[in-house]
Amino acid sequence: MTHDQQKHGNPLARLGELGQSPWYDHITRDMITGGELARLLAEDGLRGMTSNPTIFQKAIAGSSLYDADLRRLAAEGLGAPQIFEALAVADVQAACDLLRPVYDRVGHGDGTVSLEVSPGVAHDTEATVVEAVRLWESVERPNVMIKIPGTAAGLPAVTRCTEQGINVNITLLFSVERYAEVVEAWLEGLERRVRRGLPIDRIDSVASFFVSRVDTKIDPQLDKGGDPAGVRGTIAIANAALAYRHFEQVLASERWQKLQAVGARPQRPLWASTSVKDPKYRDVYYVEALVAERTVNTMPPETWEAYRDHGEPVVRIHEAIATADAKLEGLAAAGISLAQVTAELEAEGVQKFTASYDELIAGIDAKMTTLQTA
């Protein structure tokens, strides 16, 4: 621990004290079984975990940790997609069990582990619901969240899964407009349960709003155009800040007050993609700018370690909100459409996760062939 940490405490743990939950955007079997996860919980105040096909692809295909299970499941006659799901469910169950004390102590959606539906169903509402229900029932833990892409087809799936009492993490959100639609879909799911006389006091949800990819997409365009308004590196934070402003407006609404009166918990914004892609920016740039009450920040290992080492936990979200509209006006004046950028990012996000999933399945197939001939 650095001198500053000894003086002021672990910056990651301090986030929790400020109302923002630090989650870990990574999961592998060895971190669960080898004590690393227990250490993160004890020392860093970790409050949740997220996963995606890219993370599992690296863990399963890129190590020997799962070879024994691959042999066993292949011998049972399962294909690669079924094998992947069995491995992922087992890891998520084990992580959920380690995080269960956090879930019981803190509540409000912390102590959870997120598991994603197949990216291949991102544009199929019915298939998304079927897969989400299957994963929810397979993990069979109250502190699992099922990740559903926030595509147009994903919105009704969010409503239907929420109505069924499933904790949902809506992912791949890039625009404030789509975020607002996600909130609407989730509220409708809660209201349907209330109309049916079903409880809503144990349903948790987060809306995963992606951050740094926005600047990664926009900054090169600004560089070409000369950036007359000086907004390079500021649009991602401004965009997220406006999503948070909408979140606060929802919590102040009469509609939310009625749901809260019967036990509803807020659907918290989750800041995703908070690692820095441009070396010109401080490596904890996006984490520091978006510290806010009733939010989550899920960080990959390198960002987590950087923030633990030299993060400065101060609530700054309202500073970002105050300047956000002007930043977006400057972007528009530069001739760049944020709506077009975020639409492209959503499409690219689905494509990237689909490619990772396909690579994962191909890797499992290849590894099974190698293991069977070894």
List active site positions.
147
Residues 278-296: b if buried by 16+ CB within 10 A, e if exposed: eeeeebbbbbbbbbbebbb
Which residue from 372, 374, 373 is spatially nearest to 72, judged by alpha carbons? 372
> Please, are residues 78 and 71 in contact by the beta-carbon 8 Å criterion?
no
Residue among 167, 173, 150 nearest 273 (CA): 173
Position 150: which residue type?
G
51 Rama class: left (phi>0) / alpha (psi -120 to 50) / beta: beta
Three-class SS of residue 320?
A: helix
Cα distances from 173 to residues 86, 87, 158, 322, in angstroms, run 27, 27, 13, 22
